[in-house]
């Protein structure tokens, strides 16, 4: 059937674009935890049909960002501080597994060794942008670069399931914290900015130092949210 494949690709692409746009709305704080909306409202907002909107919202529900209200629409998921602690612990388990895999990977001189080093250099450049945003207190820019940094770093470990799981955890943890962080007038000096240091330890194959950095980062994240929420 001529045109069927192209139509399916177009709808799939629109579905992903809508899911990305709505996720960004949540991360920007424009869609607040507990806020409810219908498929029709989102379709009208973006000027598209209801079908790709519904599919995008179902995708975001599967990622834990939205709750489906039966026959009513959708609602932005409300995460608790205890949820956040669980996310951070899960993130730590995933990165520990990744570092263990790196430790067990034999070091091969030559081209095989240069490929991961070159890839880490590319991730480091992403980390530099994240650090600049953290130093400036620009939360929106930081979140974008931070998610890309960890996604690209996770991809280097060669297990797409772990990489996808880590990305989902990081999106959820940002969604959980952004509502609290955006209440602060000045975020300079508040946000973690050890991105390049972590890449440098991995480039040196110093996985003990890398673990220590991630542990310190996770402890910092939990302490910050507990301070902001009084919990």
pLDDT band for position 106 (cuts 50, 70, 90): low
pLDDT band at 113 (very low <50, low <70, confident <90, very high): low
- The structural domains of the chain, with segments of one domain joined by +, span 4-76, 81-229
- The domain 81-229 having CATH identifier 1.20.120.530: the answer here is yes
Question: Taking residues 4-30, what's their average pLDDT?
Answer: 78
Taking only the tens place, the pLDDT of each residue in 114-160 is 556 788 899 999 999 999 999 999 999 999 999 999 999 999 888 88
Looking only at the bridges linking them, the beta strands covering 36-37 and 66-69 are unpaired
Please count the residues of the chain: 231
Q: What is the mean pLDDT of the segment spanning 99-126?
A: 73
| DSSP helix/strand/coil, 19 | helix
Mean pLDDT of 158-181: 91
- Say what the pTM is: 0.86
Q: Residues 6 or more apart from 150 whose CB is under 8 A from it?
A: 166, 167, 170
Give the DSSP letter string of 78-136: ---HHHHHHHHHHHHHHHHHHHHHHHHSPP--SHHHHHHHHHHHHHHHHHHHHHHHHHH
Distances (CA, A) of 180 to 126, 159, 169: 25, 33, 18
Buried b (16+ CB within 10 A) or exposed e, 65-97: bbeeeeeebbbbbebebeebbebbebbbebbee
Dump the DSSP string for 52-67: HHHHHHHHHHHTTSEE
Q: Is the pLDDT of residue 71 over 70?
A: yes
CATH for the stretch 4-76: 1.10.10.10
């Amino acid at each position: 059937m001529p045109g069927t494949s192209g139509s399916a690709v177009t709808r799939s692409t629109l579905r992903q674009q809508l899911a990305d746009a709505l996720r960004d709305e949540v991360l920007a704080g424009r869609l607040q935890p507990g806020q409810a909306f219908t498929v029709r409202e989102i379709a009208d907002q973006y000027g598209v049909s209801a079908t790709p909107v519904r599919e995008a919202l179902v995708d975001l529900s599967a990622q834990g960002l939205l709750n489906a209200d039966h026959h009513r629409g959708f609602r932005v998921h409300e995460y608790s501080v205890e949820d956040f602690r669980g996310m951070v612990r899960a993130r730590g388990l995933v990165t520990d597994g990744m570092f263990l895999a790196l430790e067990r990977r034999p070091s091969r001189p030559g081209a095989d060794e240069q490929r991961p080093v070159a890839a880490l250099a590319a991730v480091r450049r992403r980390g530099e942008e994240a650090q600049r945003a953290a130093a400036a207190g620009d939360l929106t820019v930081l979140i974008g670069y931070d998610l890309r940094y960890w996604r690209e770093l996770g991809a280097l470990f060669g297990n797409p399931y772990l990489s996808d799981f880590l990305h989902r955890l990081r999106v959820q943890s940002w969604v959980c914290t952004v509502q609290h962080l955006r209440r602060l007038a000045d975020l300079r000096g508040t946000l973690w900015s050890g991105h390049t240091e972590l890449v440098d330890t991995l480039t040196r194959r110093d996985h003990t130092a890398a673990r220590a950095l991630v542990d310190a980062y996770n402890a910092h994240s939990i302490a910050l949210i507990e301070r902001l929420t009084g919990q």
